[in-house]
Amino acid sequence: MRPLAITGLGVVSAAGVGYDRFREAAGAAEVDLFTAAPTTFAHAPHPALRVAEVPAFDPKAVVGDKGLRNNDRLTRLLLVASRLGLAHAGIKVDGAFTALGADAVGVCASTAYGSIKGHLGARPRRRLEDPRYLNPGKFPNTVINSAAGYVSIWDDLRARNACLVTNGPTGGVDVFDCAATYLGAGAGEGDPRGAERP
C-alpha cells in the first residue's frame, strides 16, 4: 500500500481556530483548555463537569454568512476545519482550486452520533405528529453524514464522500484508513495504477 502524506491541517479545537493556535498550544508548557462558563449549553446543573469548547468560534469569518442558518454546530465546525485544511494544503485558496481539481478531492469524516441536537429536535415531532411537519431545512441535520455532505457541497468537492460512524477516539485514525482505501482503488489523482478518476 502506498504511504499517505498529510499536506495540510485545519484544526478547530479548544485551543482555538486555525493551525497557528494549535501549534502554539502544542508547544506551550501548560495550556488550560477548559472553561468555567461555556456558552453552548447550560452548565449550571452540572457544575462539577469540566467543559472545553472552541473559544470565540465564528464560522461566518471563514465560510461566510450565506446558508449557515440551518446548519447545526457540528456542520459548522467541520465546514470551518475543512476550509482551513484545504487552504493550508494549498489545494483551494480563496475559493479557487490551485493544486488539484474538484474531481480529485474527496471527504472522509468521522463521527459517533452525528448531530445530537438535530436528532433530538426532530424526534418528538416525528413521533407525536406527522413527519410531514418537520422543517425541511433542518431535517438533513438528523442524518449522521450530513456534515460531511455539506462540506462537499460548500467546497464543491466532487470525489468520494464518506462519513464513518466510529466509537469516537479512534475515528481520527479510521478516516485515514478509509482514505487509503479510496486512493488505492483509484478514487483520486495520482493513482499508481492509472485507474479512472471518480
Is 143 near other proteins (CB under 8 A)? yes
x/- string (CB under 8 A) for other proteins, residues 166-185? Answer: xx------x--xx-xxxxxx
Nearest CB to other proteins, comparing residues 81 and 150: 150
Of 17 and 78, which CB lies nearer to other proteins in the complex structure? 78
Q: Which DSSP string corresponds to the chain?
A: -PPP-------EETTEESHHHHHHHHHSS-----BSS-SSS--TT-TT--B---TT--THHHH-STT-TT--HHHHHHHHHHHHHHHHHTSEETTEE-SS-GGG--EEEEESSS-HHHHHHHHHHHHHS-GGGS-TTTGGGGSTTHHHHHHHHHHT--S-EEEEE--STTHHHHHHHHHHHHHHTT-STT-TT-PPP-
User: Using CB under 8 A, which of 140, 155, 159, 188 touches other proteins?
Assistant: 140
How many chain residues touch other proteins (CB under 8 A)? 51
Grid cell 446558508 is found at 67
Decide: is 186 part of the binding site for other proteins (CB under 8 A): yes
The residue among 61 and 112 lying less far from other proteins, judged by its C-beta, is: 112
61 binds other proteins (CB under 8 A): no
Q: Give the x-and-dash track for 64-93 against other proteins (CB under 8 A).
A: ------x-----------------------
Site mask for other proteins (CB under 8 A), range 4-43, x = bound:
----------------------------------------
